[in-house]
């Protein structure tokens, strides 16, 4: 068995009146992610980590923000397609460890639903998806509530 590790990172600017999608669920807030798709930073970071681990470039290569068909797309669809790509190359997911950096709103009560949705999209056990949330103690663009960031590390294996 061959084991590989991948790391993903994504960031989006926050804007008034935009929808905030994180981990496949809509989060109620006055600000949301600005992006070509729905701006789900957690899913984008996970996609990048999976593609990187499989040495298949990155999310922008497979799903460019210049593609008009992807304007406003649900990031769960991008994740589903990413899973298809890595599985086509013989990889399965071992586990995912991720962190969302956002000053407000607090996410701890929403994490179980994010895990449920992501497990369903990726067809993996919920126990194999760790999601943590943090602030940046009011420092930087996240702390100033100008943006949101997400980090993901994945373990994939090939039999």
> Does 60 carry a binding-site annotation?
yes
**To the nearest 10°, the Cα dihedral for 103, 105, 111, 117?**
-110
Confirm or deny that 11 is annotated as ligand binding. yes
To the question of whether residue 48 is assigned a binding role by annotation, the answer is: no
Annotation-wise, does 58 bind a ligand? yes
Consult the annotation and say whether 36 binds a ligand.
Answer: yes
Q: Is 33 annotated as a binding residue?
A: no
Is 143 labelled a binding residue? no
* 75 known member of a binding site: no
135 is in an annotated binding site: yes
The answer to whether 67 is annotated as binding is: yes
The dihedral sign for the CA sequence 31, 9, 137, 23? positive
To the question of whether residue 97 is assigned a binding role by annotation, the answer is no
Does residue 99 have a known ligand-binding role? no
Determine whether the annotation assigns residue 92 to a binding site: no
Alpha helices in the chain (DSSP H): 41-53, 59-62, 75-88, 111-122, 140-143
64 annotated among ligand-binding-site residues: yes
The annotation status of 134 as a binding-site residue, yes or no, is: yes
Contacts of 152 (CB under 8 A, 6+ apart): 7, 8, 9, 42, 45, 46, 48, 49, 96, 97, 98, 99
Q: Is 7 annotated as a binding residue?
A: no
38 labeled part of a ligand binding site: no
Bind-site residues for a divalent metal cation? 10, 12, 44
Bind-site residues? 10-12, 36-37, 44, 58-60, 63-67, 134-137, 141
């Amino acid at each position: 068995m061959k084991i590989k590790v991948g790391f993903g990172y994504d960031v989006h600017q926050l804007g008034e009146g935009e929808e905030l999608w994180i981990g496949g669920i809509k989060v109620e807030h006055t600000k949301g992610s600005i992006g070509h798709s729905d701006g789900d930073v957690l899913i984008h970071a996970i996609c990048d980590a999976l593609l990187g681990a499989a040495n298949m470039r990155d999310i922008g290569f497979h799903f460019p923000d210049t593609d008009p068909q992807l304007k406003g797309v649900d990031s769960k669809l991008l994740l589903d397609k990413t899973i298809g790509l890595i599985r086509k190359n013989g990889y399965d997911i071992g586990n995912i460890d991720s962190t969302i950096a956002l000053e407000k709103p607090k996410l701890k009560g929403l994490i179980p639903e994010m895990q449920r949705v992501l497990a369903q999209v990726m067809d993996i056990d919920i126990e194999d998806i760790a999601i943590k949330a943090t602030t940046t103690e009011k420092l930087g663009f996240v702390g100033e509530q100008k943006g949101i960031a997400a980090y993901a590390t994945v373990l994939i294996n090939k039999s």
